Amino acid sequence: MPIRYQNPPIIEAICEFRISPDTEWDLTVPGSIYPKVSHFLRSKEQRVRQEVEVKQTSEGIQQEIHTDERMFFLSEDKKSFMQVGLRLMAYNSLKPYPGWTNFRFGLDQALTALLETVQVKDFERIGLRYINKIEVPTTPIQLEDYLDFHPYLGENLPQNLSSFVVGCGFKFHDGRDGLKVQLTNAIPDNANNLAFFLDIDYSLLKPRSVLVNRALEWVDEAHNQVKRIFEGSIKQPLREIFGVVT
């Protein structure tokens, strides 16, 4: 049986679908989707987002800034919301995380609304990402007391870390899928604590390799792998902090 926690450290869960360019799309799509989700996402607003893309070219590293407009359909408490952009749909839940069953139910409704509105040809990318913020007392602790995934410092290096970034990538299903896990330091909510982000991102690496009508099955498998990596990254003292539900 999966481990459940009273106080999970998840600050955001995101499931994103990027839709193939051969799928017909126009400006009426967001407005057509909204009535299908308005029973639980009761408000809407338009936002402009900027993304910075870094590319390695023959002339060196170049940065490109992309701007896009998205419609946001939000729950009453604004903790859950659906994003609709150009050939893109995402479903997000913020802290407090409602649990996998509730998150998946909202995602299912959002995806169903999309597929009832648009004849999606294929998905270029699907991603399921969990961002965890973890705080522990600082007196005195080592990260290895709480984590099985942490920076290693040899005996000839200073041991008083002020910041850190550790990341790994894994492949699944013969390279069809990939998972990135990253650990970075964070600013704690309590000044007496040490804080860090544990960011786990499972994604489809091979475009168009998952049938549209099997997308939720892919998400279920992605969640299993994210949960497995999360549990493999932490130790029992953290489970006690999170409070295991028995």
pLDDT per residue as tens digits for the range 43-77: 999 988 777 666 777 777 777 777 788 999 999 99
- Which pLDDT tens digit goes with each residue over 77-129? 999 999 999 999 999 999 999 999 999 999 999 999 999 999 999 999 999 99
State which amino acid sits at residue 95: K
117, containing H or E segment:
helix 100-117
Q: What is the mean pLDDT of the chain?
A: 93
- Mean pLDDT over 142-148 rounds to 91
Q: Which of 118, 142, 139 is nearest to 24 (CA)?
A: 118
Amino acid 22: pLDDT: 97
Overall average pLDDT of the 222-226 stretch:
98
What pLDDT, on the 0 to 100 scale, is given for residue 161?
A: 77
**pTM of the entire predicted model:** 0.92
pLDDT digits (tens, 9 = 90+) for 167-189: 999 999 999 999 999 999 999 99
DSSP line for 7-71: S--EEEEEEEEEE-TTS---TTHHHHHHHHHTTTS-EEEEEEEEEEEEEEETTEEEEEEEEEEEE
Residue appearing with tokens 């000839």: 156
pLDDT of residue 71: 97
HSE, side-chain direction, 13 A CA sphere, residue 194: 18
Q: What is the pLDDT of residue 49?
A: 77
**φ, ψ at 72 (rounded to 5°):** -115, 125
Selected residue with higher pLDDT from 139 and 39: 39
- Closest-CA residue to 124 (of 40, 7, 19): 19
